[in-house]
């Protein structure tokens, strides 16, 4: 999503680093090797054998004299390098694995799914402002979002669903006033699904009326049997957290997260009646482990936390991880991996000691293949494909360099032993984003996902496109006019630049000129207003937008999805701005055209 000028400079830089003759040399060596390996007749004329002997002798001499020089020209095998421009095009909001297999990603107003490890992508529309997302298969997906109504200290949820791969979406509101600080959705098929609403624990405090006692975290389970059209409360219990999954229609799992309650040796709860009742899972050794921070200055005991919820590859086989920190030695935690092959009725334990060089907690991923990220460095990745019997440190070729702010991996998982997907935190200059990276060699090397022209093939959808246009303008304004006190003001302005159309980027001339013009404006606040997106003939016209913007839109934008949006700052001294938001014809990426340059 970089501008053409920036992308050209980046690609030129990396192209200059590549040896131009390595391809022909590699091809020549392959021809020689294939010829040498070709079987020959054992019987022939003496003249032929004599000639062959002479040729062989010459070949040996040539090999002795020339091969060292030849090898120096060819050099070692090519190592994948990070491609900043490709990573920018692979920036996503969310990503994960479909329950049916394959990868999904949300990029702005698009839902993209792949059933061939990222070789091709199927596009669909996606509703804006979604929180937790669950994708069952390329046809069925659900997204959670708050409707702005607060109740019992939490936000009432709206469930948005598609049954046709994102071509259409429908909404249902959770009618019960359930306390909800964090929610997770999980479906076992197109009809039966669950939402776990977790309410965070609250420590004791002193308020205006005196001491406010501590409250333990709790979870409320909501259940649907009609694909999410209607929901009922199935149960409520203390200790349940939003790290939640359903291994089948009746068996549900909920892990205590760091905010749901104080860890007391119970890490996992199970329900075997579709969420009506819950019981603690007796994990080996964990119940008897002394845990908790203990008194100030304590040097014994353990601090413990779950590494997300359990992951099941089918109804019987699953795994779960807990991180154990010995108090007094926080740099050497141990990951306790639990594995079951009988639907969680019994568990085996494998322990893996890790070293932390950065002070950031490692994160364990479980599934068909296990992984630990954040070991030894922020970029560390260690994997096991035999359930913890053996571990291998992955080189991570093709990944971005180490960030000094946050760990490299936000998420990683595998569709099979060779193919993996990861969300990588990327920093390029002042810009920071999350990119979807893919591997086809067991996490040894990675490359950014290539969505190709999939997004450009999404047809116009007035029910969703107007909201997408309004959302991208609102996002642009918030980042283009950041709070000057914010730590990430420079990063926000860089991301705003990336949302601009190439035409508007060209008019500014450079990123620095854009920062000077937009950064000097009043910060965007909650009182500012982004108006409704419109396609009226008077608004979307050359007379209203000007010849330059109008001609560029008709040349480079999907005009069937173009909308005019006006943003009005609350500060009366600042003039309203008129924008056009539309997808680019080549890629389908939503961009912003500024009608009147500041």
Question: What's the pLDDT score for residue 325?
Answer: 77
Within 13 A of 410's CA, how many CA atoms are on the CB side?
18
The listed range with the strongest mean pLDDT (4-18, 85-99, 259-273) is 85-99
pLDDT > 90: percent of the chain: 34
pLDDT band for 526, please (50, 70, 90 cuts): low
pLDDT band for 116, please (50, 70, 90 cuts): very high
pLDDT band for 337, please (50, 70, 90 cuts): very high
Q: Above 70 in pLDDT, residue 71?
A: no
SS3 per residue for 16-55: HCCCCCHHHHHHHHHHHHHHHHCCCCCCCCHHHHHHHHHH
pTM for this structure?
A: 0.76
**Lowest-pLDDT range, 26-35, 149-158, 182-191, 475-484?**
26-35
CA–CA separation, 543 vs 300, rounded Å? 75
Question: What's the pLDDT score for residue 27?
Answer: 28
Question: What's the pLDDT score for residue 517?
Answer: 84
pLDDT > 70: percent of the chain: 71
Q: Above 70 in pLDDT, residue 188?
A: yes
The listed range with the strongest mean pLDDT (313-322, 394-403, 519-528) is 313-322
Question: What's the pLDDT score for residue 95?
Answer: 95
Question: What's the pLDDT score for residue 295?
Answer: 39
Token pair listed for 172: 């249902």
- Phi, psi (5° rounding) for residue 259? -105, -10
Token pair listed for 528: 């500012």
Closest CA to 263 of 284, 293, 243: 293
Tell me if residue 555 falls in helix, strand or coil. Answer: helix
Tell me if residue 104 falls in helix, strand or coil. Answer: strand
Contact of 356 with 364, CB cutoff 8 Å: no
Contact of 169 with 184, CB cutoff 8 Å: no
CA–CA separation, 410 vs 393, rounded Å? 18
Question: What's the pLDDT score for residue 498?
Answer: 84
What are 543-570's pLDDT values in tens digits? 999 999 999 999 999 999 999 999 888 7
Q: Above 90 in pLDDT, residue 380?
A: no
The domain segmentation of the chain, as residue ranges, is 4-8+23-74, 459-594
Mean pLDDT of 571-594: 89
Tell me if residue 125 falls in helix, strand or coil. Answer: strand
CA–CA separation, 41 vs 7, rounded Å? 56
Question: What's the pLDDT score for residue 338?
Answer: 93
Burial per residue of 57-95, b for 16 or more beta-carbon CB atoms within 10 angstroms, e otherwise = eeeeeeeeeeeeeeeeebeeeeebebbbbbbbbbbbbbb
pLDDT band for 235, please (50, 70, 90 cuts): very high
More confident residue, 486 or 544: 544
Mean pLDDT of 481-499: 68
CA–CA separation, 139 vs 470, rounded Å? 26
Token pair listed for 198: 């977790």
Question: What's the pLDDT score for residue 173?
Answer: 82
Torsion angle (degrees, nearest 10) of CA 226, 231, 237, 240: 70
**Lowest-pLDDT range, 165-179, 358-372, 447-461, 558-572?**
358-372
Mean pLDDT of 112-129: 91
| C-alpha separations of 123 from 138, 264, 456, 550 in Å | 9, 45, 9, 28
Question: What's the pLDDT score for residue 367?
Answer: 77
| Residue 166 burial (CB count, 10 A) | 26
Mean pLDDT of 290-300: 49
Question: What's the pLDDT score for residue 485?
Answer: 52
Average pLDDT, whole number, for the chain? 77
More confident residue, 288 or 579: 579
Question: What's the pLDDT score for residue 62?
Answer: 38
Token pair listed for 54: 């002479």
Mean pLDDT of 86-113: 91
Question: What's the pLDDT score for residue 68?
Answer: 44
Mean pLDDT of 113-126: 95
Question: What's the pLDDT score for residue 163?
Answer: 96
Mean pLDDT of 44-58: 37
Question: What's the pLDDT score for residue 404?
Answer: 44
- Phi, psi (5° rounding) for residue 305? -155, 150
Q: What is the DSSP string of 434-484?
A: EEEEEESSTTSB-EE---TTGGGGPPP-HHHHHHHHHHHHHHHHHHHS--T
What are 130-175's pLDDT values in tens digits? 678 999 999 999 998 876 555 555 567 889 999 999 999 998 887 6
pLDDT band for 31, please (50, 70, 90 cuts): very low
More confident residue, 193 or 522: 193
pLDDT band for 254, please (50, 70, 90 cuts): very high
- Local structure of residue 515 (DSSP, 8 states): H
Closest CA to 399 of 362, 361, 425: 425
What are 53-68's pLDDT values in tens digits? 443 433 433 344 444 4
Question: At a CB cut-off of 8 Å and minimum separation 6, what does 168 contact?
Answer: 162, 461, 463
């Amino acid at each position: 999503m970089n501008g053409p000028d920036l992308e050209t400079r980046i690609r030129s830089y990396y192209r200059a680093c590549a040896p131009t003759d390595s391809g022909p040399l590699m091809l020549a060596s392959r021809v020689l090797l294939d010829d040498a390996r070709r079987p020959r007749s054992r019987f022939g004329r003496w003249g032929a054998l004599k000639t062959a002997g002479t040729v062989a002798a010459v070949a040996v001499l040539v090999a002795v004299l020339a091969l060292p020089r030849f090898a120096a020209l060819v050099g070692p095998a090519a190592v994948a390098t990070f491609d900043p421009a490709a990573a920018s095009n692979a920036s996503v909001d969310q990503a994960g694995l479909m329950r049916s297999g394959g990868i999904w990603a949300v990029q702005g107003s698009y839902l993209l799914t792949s059933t061939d490890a990222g070789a091709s992508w199927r596009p669909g529309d996606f509703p804006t402002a979604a929180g937790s997302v669950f994708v069952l298969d390329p046809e069925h997906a659900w997204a959670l979002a708050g409707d702005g109504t607060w109740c019992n200290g939490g936000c009432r949820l709206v469930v948005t669903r598609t049954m046709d791969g994102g071509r259409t979406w429908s909404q249902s509101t959770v009618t019960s006033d359930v306390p909800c600080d964090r929610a997770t959705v999980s479906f076992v098929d197109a009809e039966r699904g669950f939402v776990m609403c977790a309410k965070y624990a609250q420590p004791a405090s002193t308020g205006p009326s005196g001491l406010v006692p501590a409250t333990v975290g709790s979870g409320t389970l909501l259940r649907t049997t009609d694909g999410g059209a209607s929901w009922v409360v199935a149960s409520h219990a203390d200790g349940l957290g939003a790290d939640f999954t359903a291994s089948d229609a009746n068996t549900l799992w909920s892990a205590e997260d760091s905010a749901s309650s104080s860890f007391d040796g119970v890490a996992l709860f199970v329900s075997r009646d579709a969420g009506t009742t819950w019981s603690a899972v007796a994990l080996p050794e964990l119940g008897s482990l002394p845990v908790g921070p203990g008194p100030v200055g304590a040097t014994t005991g353990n601090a413990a936390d779950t590494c997300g919820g359990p992951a099941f590859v089918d109804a019987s086989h699953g795994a779960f991880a807990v991180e154990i920190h010995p108090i007094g030695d926080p740099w050497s935690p141990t990951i306790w991996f639990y594995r079951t092959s009988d639907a969680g009725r019994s568990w085996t334990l494998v322990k893996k000691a890790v070293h932390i060089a950065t002070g950031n907690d490692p994160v364990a991923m479980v599934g068909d293949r296990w992984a630990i990220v954040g070991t030894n460095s922020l970029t560390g990745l260690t994997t096991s494909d035999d359930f913890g019997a053996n571990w291998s440190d992955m080189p991570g070729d093709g990944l971005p360099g180490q960030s000094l702010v946050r760990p490299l991996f936000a998420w990683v998982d595998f569709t099979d032993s060779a193919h993996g997907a990861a969300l990588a935190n990327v920093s390029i200059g002042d810009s920071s984003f999350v990119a979807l990276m893919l591997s086809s060699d067991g996490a040894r090397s990675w490359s950014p996902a290539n969505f190709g022209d999939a997004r450009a093939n999404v047809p116009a959808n007035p029910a969703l496109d107007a909201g997408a246009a309004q959302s991208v303008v609102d996002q642009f304004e918030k980042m283009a006019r950041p709070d000057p006190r914010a730590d990430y003001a420079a990063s926000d302005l860089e991301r705003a630049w990336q949302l601009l159309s190439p035409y508007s980027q060209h008019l500014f001339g450079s990123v620095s000129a854009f920062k000077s013009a937009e950064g000097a404006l009043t910060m965007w606040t909650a009182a500012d207003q982004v108006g409704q997106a419109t396609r009226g003939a008077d608004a979307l016209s050359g007379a209203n937008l000007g010849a330059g913007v109008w001609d560029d839109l008709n040349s480079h934008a999907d005009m069937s999805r173009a909308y005019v949006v006006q943003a009005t700052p609350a500060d009366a001294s600042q003039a309203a701005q008129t924008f056009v938001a539309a997808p680019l014809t080549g890629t389908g990426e939503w961009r912003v055209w500024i009608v009147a340059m500041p």
